[in-house]
C-alpha cells in the first residue's frame, strides 16, 4: 500500500469527521452539540478543498458553518423561552 502525503491529510480529516459526528450524538447539552456541528462542517469544507472541489467548499462554508449554526442557535433560544 503506497500513500502519498496528501492521503495522510485526508485520513486525519476523516478521523476528525468521525469523532465530531460521534461527539454530536453523545453530548447532552444542545448548544454544545450545535458548536460541535460547526466543527464538523469546517472539517467537511477542508475535506472538499482537499479533494479539489473549491466550489463545494465555498457552499459548505457558507451554508454549513454560518447558516445552519445561526438557525439552530436562534431556534434553541426561541424554544427555550416557550418552556
Residues in the site for other proteins, rule: CB under 8 A? 54-55, 57-59, 62-63, 66-67, 70-71, 74-75, 78-79, 81-82
Minimum separation from the CB atom of position 78 to other proteins (A): 4
Is the Cβ of residue 23 or residue 69 nearer to other proteins in the bound state?
69
Q: Which is nearer to other proteins, 11 or 63 (CB)?
A: 63
Q: Which of 55, 30, 60 is nearest to 42 (CA)?
A: 60
Judged by DSSP in three states, 1 sits in coil
Least separation in angstroms between CB 81 and other proteins: 7
A 10 A CB-CB count for 22 gives: 11
Placement of cell 469523532 in the chain: 19
Amino acid at each position: 500500500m503506497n500513500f502519498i502525503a496528501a492521503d495522510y491529510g485526508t485520513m486525519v480529516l476523516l478521523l476528525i469527521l468521525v469523532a465530531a459526528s460521534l461527539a454530536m450524538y453523545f453530548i447532552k447539552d444542545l448548544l454544545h452539540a450545535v458548536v460541535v456541528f460547526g466543527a464538523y462542517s469546517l472539517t467537511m469544507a477542508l475535506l472538499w478543498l482537499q479533494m479539489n472541489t473549491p466550489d463545494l467548499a465555498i457552499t459548505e462554508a457558507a451554508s454549513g458553518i454560518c447558516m445552519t449554526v445561526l438557525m439552530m442557535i436562534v431556534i434553541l433560544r426561541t424554544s427555550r423561552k416557550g418552556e
